[in-house]
Amino acid sequence: MLHVETLSVTMNQKAILSGISFELHKGKILGLIGPNGAGKTTLIRAINGSVDIEQGKIVFKKQDLTALNVQEHARFIATVPQNRIIPAGFTVRQIVLMGRTPYLNWFGRSTKEDEQIAEQAMRRTDTLSLADVTADELSGGEQQRVILARAFAQNTPLLLLDEPTTHLDIRFQMEFLDLLFEHVREEKMSVIIAMHDLNQAMRFCDEVLLLSQGKIYASGKPQDVLTEKKLSTVYQYPIKIKYNHGDTPVYIYPKF
Amino acid sequence: MRQSSAVRWIVFLVIGVLLAALLSVMLGSVSIPFKEILSIFKGKVDSGSTLPAVQGKFSSIVFDLRIPRTLLVLLVGAALATSGGAYQGLFQNPLADPYLIGVASGAGLGSIVAMTIQWPQDLLGYFAVPISAFIGSILAVLLVYSLSKVGKTVHNTTLILAGVAVSSLSNALTSFLLINAGGELRRAIVWMMGGSTLVGWKPVIASAPFILLGIALLCSMGYPLNVLQFGDEEAQQMGVPVKKVRILIILAASLTTAAAVAFCGTIAFVGLVVPHILRRLVGNDHRLLLPLSALGGAIFLTISDILARTLLAPQEIPVGVITILFGAPFFLFILRKTKRKIW
């Protein structure tokens, strides 16, 4: 239902992305992997309209996303960005309610329904008990769940996440990903998530796109894309994979 | 911030405004007791009665001097504090007040240009001053903003530096024009120090529409300003038309500042101190913060103005001197504290 066709992005006369085409079906989770500078973040920002695309189409349910105004656009796509910004002096509840912005008027007047949706989003992300705490006082892992709750409250069919677990410790990483994927599976949301951790990509994603220098190097099911040969070529470092019962990959690691 | 406590804050500050206004009408080089004021108002209502001579004198002080001055000061205080709060939110910078980012100095230059062409005498001349100030402030803010913009982001430090530079430049040009102003020099200098030498109703009538419109616009933009705290890109992802909001806020805040500066000159720190105190008390929800800033600014400047009139009476201190005497120490306090908490 999401079609990206021959998408190209150029910044300062340098091609950052070229000829990106892929499809994402309803309820599927697509992982973006690839080395630093491969174009993962730019692809996410191109799909959500933060960077201008030079060429190509982004069509969602027959709707050309680039033709929508800001408010309509925000009803289709929610983004959890790479750098977490938590402005000071707002409670968790206030921040999660801001996820409802695309459905509110200029004055931000929320209805009972908006408040219930926000509450549900907080319950889903295990932040309801923090609702009336000032969000900038929370730990990094809790703050990231607040941002996730805000994105859930936006109630979009498509969710983009840019390395959402980068600065979290291992427990918060797993908690975050578990909460995320439980919710999106239940709501049948389509998800695009940029990841650095190849093992997490293998474990959670239905499909992966392996990006290299702004192009798609390989795409498909995780076990087909995440191979020693492909990964070693793209990351320019020897990478090993441990298999279980012959063919199920269980652990990806750099060669020591 | 819950609804009920928001209402409580507003009621509390409205009462504060009324009390400050009453004091401002009562106090001055001649003090007028509350009873007298009541009877003057009564006398004005049933105009048939003949008033004793002394009451007639008070009556003219109250209606021709004290009330218009009080109204002007209330408006100007509200204007400076609201636009200060809005600028801080817009640039996500605790130091962004109309003076530090050059808007007020630009407005000052604009008003001096209008005043040197012709010192205002009729009402039309009075309207020319805020309009010229508005143009000056818009030019200043655009200059500062474009100087501090690197790519798509605005650098906070550069913003302040550019603001200081543009401020100094406009102040220098203002001084240059003042030197050539000849006979109006003394009046203009008092104006620059933040003392209104323009008495009577005309400055009130000329600035009120701009200030009230500007404050109303700013207060209506509290919610988009909240979302903007997440940065431009995220705010856009949440459905806020960022460019439109930014331009509207800059226009409204500059209009408000300009109208204030046009008749009261340079009154620093109101726009910095008042929103800061309120942020600490009620949090950062701009839907509440901006209206409260308007009320708080009105109170702060009115009390400063009362002090300015009474401390060395009959000599009058420019109110800008008083606000700096209060504001500067507070500013230093914020600089030390700013690493923690609210920003």
Residue among A255, A252, A194 at smallest CA distance from A227: A252
Q: Count CB pairs under 8 A between chains A and B.
A: 81
The pair phi, psi for residue B57, each rounded to 5°, is -65, -45
Mean pLDDT of chain A: 90
Percent of chain A topping pLDDT 70: 99
Q: What domains are defined for chain B?
A: 3-337 (1.10.3470.10)
* Residue A145: band (very low, low, confident or very high) from pLDDT cuts 50, 70, 90: very high
Residue of B nearest to A94 (CA): B285
Q: Which of residues 81-120 of A touch B (CB under 8 A)?
A: 81, 85, 87-91, 94, 98-99, 101-102, 104, 106-108
Compute the distance between CA of residue B290 and CA of residue B222 in angstroms, rounded to an integer.
7
CB spacing of B227 vs A101 below 8 angstroms: yes
Compute the distance between CA of residue A142 and CA of residue B276 in angstroms, rounded to an integer.
27
Compute CA distances A191 → A151, A201, B88, whole Å. Answer: 12, 12, 36
Amino acid at B151: G
Compute the distance between CA of residue A225 and CA of residue A202 in angstroms, rounded to an integer.
9
Which of A74, A89, A90 is closest, CB to CB, to B238?
A: A74
The pair phi, psi for residue A77, each rounded to 5°, is -125, 130
Contact between residue B231 and residue B246 where contact means Cβ atoms under 8 Å apart: no
Percent of chain A topping pLDDT 90: 56
Residue to mutate among A98, A100, A161, with most B CBs inside 10 A, is A98
Residue of B nearest to A108 (CA): B223
Compute the distance between CA of residue A99 and CA of residue B187 in angstroms, rounded to an integer.
53
Contact between residue A146 and residue A80 where contact means Cβ atoms under 8 Å apart: no
Q: Is B192 left (phi over 0), alpha (psi -120 to 50) or beta?
A: alpha
* Residue B52: band (very low, low, confident or very high) from pLDDT cuts 50, 70, 90: low
Q: What domains are defined for chain A?
A: 1-76+156-171+186-256 (3.40.50.300), 86-155 (no CATH)
Taking residue B11's Cβ as centre, other Cβ atoms within 10 Å add up to 10
**Span A168-220, pLDDT tens digits:** 888 889 989 999 999 999 999 999 999 989 999 998 999 999 999 999 999 99
A134 and chain B: CB distance < 8 Å anywhere?
Answer: yes
- Name the more confident of B1 and B252: B252
Compute the distance between CA of residue A31 and CA of residue A177 in angstroms, rounded to an integer.
13
Q: Which of residues 90-119 of B touch A (CB under 8 A)?
A: 92
Query: Distance of alpha carbon B24 from its chain centroid, rounded?
Result: 17
Contact between residue A117 and residue A100 where contact means Cβ atoms under 8 Å apart: yes
Would you say residue B343 has pLDDT above 50?
Answer: no
Which of B229, B240, B287 is closest, CB to CB, to A101?
A: B240
CB spacing of A90 vs B226 below 8 angstroms: yes
Q: Hey, which residues does A63 pair with through a beta bridge?
A: A60
**Span A55-108, pLDDT tens digits:** 999 998 888 988 889 999 999 999 999 888 899 889 999 999 999 999 998 888
| DSSP 8-state assignment for residue B64 | I
Amino acid at A114: D
pLDDT of the residue at B182: 65
Residue of A nearest to B228 (CA): A87
DSSP helix, strand, coil percent of chain A (3-state; round to 5): 40, 30, 35
| DSSP 8-state assignment for residue A244 | E
CB spacing of A134 vs B283 below 8 angstroms: yes
